[in-house]
């Protein structure tokens, strides 16, 4: 019950922020943190974004959505730093990459291990179908295509390291999606719906394929002053069953939904910083993870 009350406080606080303050806004919104903008980079413009985050696994959601928390004294942390360069190729067309570094720590039953490595890299193209502009209520709409590459470590794990070596999935993954959004000087709203198709791979001699999954996100932001804004996001995924040697694994389908309240700070016209923390509202057959996140963006 305490956890439910805590989530309600976060949601209620975020909604209060997003329902007011509009008359005081003077600067462009700078978010969101997780959701993807519907608009694209201007032609010839280059941005670089760095996303430090620290996922803290506190337990597991079971088949019925209940949480089994880690035993007292056990710890399971990661530190992830994806670097994302973005470039506007021509009007309405943007390309971006993702190069992640991941460091894992784990302490279990008196044993501990830690290790870091490169994670799975990705390449994304975004094409804006319609530019809604700043005036009126018509939104911008864009489509994305993304490919994930198996550059992280995913097999031949040492048992004594308890899985901390794993930083990748071992498979390519293809993504198609749609973004819808609207922004003004005072506020912005963004929504995403992406379909992801992990490909079959062989891990330690076993043919494995993660289930296809939907990713969805809804984000809102209001500027409070010339420099500061508040952000509220909801995001999650619904994933199908994993296959081992072409056979579906029972009870391997999963889902998760997060709420993310945050703050944005426009340091200068070329630089901004965002900070927030994701809290799981519900889940099934996956980790119960709290994720503090930063985003640093620099516009060249």
Phi, psi of 232, rounded to the nearest 5 degrees: -140, 125
**Three-state secondary structure call for residue 51:** coil
The predicted structure's pLDDT at residue 242: 94
Record the pTM: 0.87
- 186 contacts 178 by C-beta, under 8 angstroms: no
Token couple for 129: 């179908």
**17 has pLDDT over 50:** no
**pLDDT tens digits for 251-287?**
899 999 999 999 999 998 889 999 999 999 999 999 9
Token couple for 1: 């019950």
**21 has pLDDT over 60:** no
The predicted structure's pLDDT at residue 135: 82
**32 has pLDDT over 80:** yes
**19 has pLDDT over 70:** no
Q: What is the mean pLDDT of residues 21-33?
A: 50
Mean pLDDT lowest among 15-19, 43-47, 78-82, 108-112:
15-19
Bigger pLDDT: 215 vs 300: 215
In CATH, the number for domain 2-299 is 2.40.160.40
Instruction: Compute CA distances 133 → 38, 126, 282, whole Å.
Output: 11, 17, 35
The percent of residues above 90 in pLDDT, for the chain, comes to 76
The predicted structure's pLDDT at residue 15: 41
The percent of residues above 70 in pLDDT, for the chain, comes to 90
User: How far is the C-alpha of 10 from the C-alpha of 233, rounded, in Å?
Assistant: 11
- 276 contacts 293 by C-beta, under 8 angstroms: yes
Residue at token pair 């996140």: 293
**pLDDT tens digits for 107-142?**
988 889 999 999 999 999 999 999 998 887 899 999
**168 has pLDDT over 50:** yes
């Amino acid at each position: 019950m305490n956890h439910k009350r805590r989530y309600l406080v976060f949601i209620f606080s975020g909604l209060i922020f997003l329902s007011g303050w509009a008359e005081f806004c003077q600067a462009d919104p700078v978010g969101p943190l997780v959701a993807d903008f519907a608009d694209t980079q201007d032609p010839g413009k280059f941005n670089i974004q760095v996303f430090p985050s620290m996922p803290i696994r506190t337990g597991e959601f079971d088949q019925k959505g209940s949480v089994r928390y880690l035993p007292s004294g056990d710890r399971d942390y990661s530190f992830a730093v994806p670097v994302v360069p973005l470039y506007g190729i021509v009007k309405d067309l943007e390309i971006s990459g993702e190069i992640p570094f991941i460091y894992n720590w784990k302490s279990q039953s008196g044993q501990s291990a830690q290790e870091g490595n490169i994670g799975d890299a990705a390449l994304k193209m975004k094409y804006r179908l319609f530019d809604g502009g700043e005036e009126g209520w018509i939104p911008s709409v864009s489509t994305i295509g993304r490919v994930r590459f198996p550059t992280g470590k995913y097999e031949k794990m040492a048992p004594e390291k308890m899985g901390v070596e794993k930083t990748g999935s071992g498979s390519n993954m293809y993504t198609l999606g749609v973004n819808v959004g609207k922004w003004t000087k005072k506020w912005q709203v963004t929504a995403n719906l992406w379909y992801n198709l992990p490909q079959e791979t062989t891990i330690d001699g076993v043919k494995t394929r993660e289930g296809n999954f939907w990713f969805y996100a809804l984000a809102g932001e209001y500027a409070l002053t010339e420099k500061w804004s508040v952000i509220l996001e909801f995001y999650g995924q619904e994933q199908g069953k994993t296959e081992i040697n072409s056979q579906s694994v029972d009870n391997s389908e999963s889902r998760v939904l997060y709420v993310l309240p945050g703050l944005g700070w426009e340091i200068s016209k070329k630089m901004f910083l965002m900070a927030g923390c994701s809290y799981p509202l519900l889940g099934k057959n996956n980790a119960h993870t709290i994720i503090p996140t930063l985003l640093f963006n620099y516009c060249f």
